[in-house]
């Protein structure tokens, strides 16, 4: 078993898919939100929904939008070929939209599609890096 144990607590390594748990309804209720420590790829439509790009600016070249968002610290990377933006993370690798105390998404109703579809899609579909709070 590749899960590490410390004082009867199972630790999850988000990069080791063997430590992930099979997803089941309600699992997120008491999780520390390890999934919110993984890189979040967003499309332009996600950024518009999130309110960081307005509909008029969305007509500009994606590379130009990426330059502004990177300067403002909203994204950390832009893949021009795929036109995918990677959201910035805090120094501890948490998503910039993850509340530090509640461990809940602060933009849940407008979150990117990749977050909406987790864990059905992702590195290990229907599994998640669950770790009890």
- When divided into structural domains, the chain yields a total of 1
Examine residue 69 and state whether it is found in any structural domain, yes or no.
yes
For residues 31 and 14, what is the distance between their CA atoms, to the nearest angstrom?
Answer: 13
Domain span at 119: 21-128
Examine residue 13 and state whether it is found in any structural domain, yes or no.
no
28 burial type by CB count under 10 A (0-12 exposed, 13-18 middle, 19+ buried): middle
**What pLDDT, on a 0 to 100 scale, did the predictor assign at position 2?**
44
Examine residue 120 and state whether it is found in any structural domain, yes or no.
yes
Asked whether residue 3 carries a pLDDT value surpassing 50, the answer given is no
Give helix then strand counts, H and E, for the chain: 3, 7
Tens digits of per-residue pLDDT, 68-106?
999 999 999 999 999 999 999 999 999 999 999 999 999
Residue with tokens 């078993």: 1
């Amino acid at each position: 078993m590749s899960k590490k144990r410390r004082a009867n607590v199972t630790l999850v390594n988000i990069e080791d898919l063997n430590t992930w748990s099979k997803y089941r309804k309600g699992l997120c209720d008491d999780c520390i939100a390890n999934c919110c420590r993984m890189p979040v790829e967003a499309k332009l439509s996600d950024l518009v929904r999130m309110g960081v790009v307005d509909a008029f600016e969305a007509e500009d070249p994606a590379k130009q939008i990426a330059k502004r968002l990177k300067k403002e610290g909203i994204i950390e990377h832009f893949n021009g070929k795929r036109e995918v933006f990677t959201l910035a993370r805090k120094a501890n690798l948490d998503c910039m939209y993850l509340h530090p105390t509640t461990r809940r998404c602060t933009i849940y109703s407008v979150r990117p599609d990749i977050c909406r579809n987790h864990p059905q899609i992702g590195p290990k579909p229907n599994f998640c890096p669950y770790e009890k709070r």
